[in-house]
Amino acid sequence: MIPAAKPIIGDEEREAVDRVLRSGMLAQGPEVKAFEEEFSAHVGGRHCVAMNSGTSALHLGFIAAGIERGDEVIVPSFSFAATANSVVLAGGVPVFADIDPRTFNLDPNHVETLITKKTKAIMPVHLYGHIAAMDEFQELSSKYGVKIIEDAAQGHLASLNGRNAGEFGIVASFSFYPTKNMTAGEGGMVVTDDAEVARMLRLLRNQGQEIRYQNEVVGFNTRMTDIHAAIGRVQLAKLPGWTKQRQSNAAYLDANLKGVVTPYLAPGTTHSYHQYTIRIPGGSSEKRDAFMAGLTERGVGCGVYYPTPIHKLASFKLDLTLPETDLVVKECVSLPVHPSLTQAELETIVSVVNEVAAAL
């Protein structure tokens, strides 16, 4: 079976963990600081504050960016639940907008129609590693005075006109969960170009204190451990090479797959292929599910991210119509694109997909 996703853990990661364990200093310390500095080099030198998860990074990012009780934040419904959960956890109200079905990302035109006096921020998600329409969101930000916050959990090294994900919003949050393009075991990173926001994030993640027992605000414990940071540092060094490999795997699939809609690339963007997501045209989840069963029978792993739009989950249950979102959840399926695929496995994926798609 060719797995749909596969974290790559090598001897360097094991040695890094061992180094921390031997040091006897396990909690947030010098490894976290070094990880933050090294990550900063990939986001235009912005301030980086490490957290224990991507969800904590989003949650505290909202608080530090000034989201308060009742503030509306426009988000896509076609995303992982944490996108909207973090708005609620910060006291805000998520307002769900539709997507551009080509990129799977938040549609700036629909977002504009949802802006009200209560709108405080827009949070695009760089879904699957395709950067969102950041130029259009910056325009909406200037026109309406709303903040842009990035859910960059899937956006490592995705770029638009030479600027990486994380370099656009007042805050941007990354995740290092094991299925992401790089991992720390668990973990997250908030990125900001505002020194005051960065200081607030450091306070919030550590009980509101910068100096021990001098608590300035009511805070959390969402610190990253040095054990996780040590893994993250090794993985970060490997990330550019892995991203190139994902891009070359995707280029091979683009050139050879038939009978399915391959991923779109908006002008000026580089895709980091967190997922290689195709569409099975026809607007039928039965057809898509039959396609997936055909792949699984023939040993090719695949998955649907995400089968239920957030607004329809039991945790939100909102009566909304988002036509593009409702269509895409029935047609999308992600194929293996991870950097450990061999040429033979890529060829198998192509022959199996083309055979199964032709027989649908």
By the criterion CB under 6 A, which residues form the site for ligand PLP?
53-55, 79-80, 82-83, 125, 151, 153-154, 175, 177, 188
> Are 74 and 111 within 8 A, CB to CB?
yes
Q: Nearest distance from residue 355's CB to ligand PLP, in Å?
A: 31
Tell me the backbone φ, ψ of residue 95, rounded to 5 degrees.
-115, 120
> Which CB atom, from 79 or from 270, has the smaller least distance to ligand PLP?
79
Q: How far apart are CA 242 and CA 339, in angstroms?
A: 6
Q: Report the residue number, 185 or 336, with the smaller CB distance to ligand PLP.
A: 185
In the complex with ligand PLP, which residue's Cβ is closer, 125 or 332? 125
Residue with nearest beta carbon to ligand PLP: 54
Query: 300 to each of 112, 278, 336, how far by Cα in Å?
Result: 40, 14, 8
- The residues, any chain, with a CB within 8 Å of residue 109's CB and separated by 6 or more, are none
CB of 58 to ligand PLP, least distance (A): 6
Taking the complex as a whole, how short is the minimal distance between the CB of residue 23 and ligand PLP, in angstroms? Answer: 25
Taking the least distance from each CB to ligand PLP, the nearer of 97 and 125 is 125
Structure token digits, residue 268: 């000026």
For residue 1, how many other CB atoms are within 10 A of its CB? 9
> Please, what is the minimum distance in Å from the beta carbon of residue 188 to ligand PLP?
5
Nearer Cβ to ligand PLP, position 71 or 151? 151
Instruction: State in angstroms the smallest separation of the CB of 57 from ligand PLP.
Output: 7
Q: CA nearest 79: which of 288, 277, 308, 281?
A: 308
CB-wise, 55 or 164, nearer to ligand PLP? 55
Please say which residue, 79 or 249, places its beta carbon nearer to ligand PLP. Answer: 79
CB of 124 to ligand PLP, least distance (A): 10
Name which of 223 and 257 has its Cβ closer to ligand PLP: 223
In angstroms, what is the minimal distance from the CB of 179 to ligand PLP?
8
Q: Which ranges of the chain would DSSP assign to H, the alpha helix?
A: 11-23, 30-40, 54-64, 82-89, 108-114, 134-144, 195-205, 226-256, 285-297, 323-331, 343-359
Q: How many CB atoms lie within 10 A of CB 344?
A: 9
The token pair at 54 is 């991507």
The secondary structure of 50-118, three-state, reads EECCHHHHHHHHHHHCCCCCCCEEEEECCCCCHHHHHHHHCCCEEEEECEECCCCEECHHHHHHHCCCC
Contact 149, 171 (CB under 8 A): yes
Tell me how far apart the alpha carbons of residues 63 and 84 are, in angstroms, rounded to a whole number.
14
- Closest contact distance (angstroms) between CB of 168 and ligand PLP is 16
How many Å apart are CA 171 and CA 117, to the nearest integer?
Answer: 21
Is the Cβ of residue 55 or residue 247 nearer to ligand PLP in the bound state? 55
What is the closest distance, in whole angstroms, from the C-beta atom of residue 178 to ligand PLP in the complex? 9
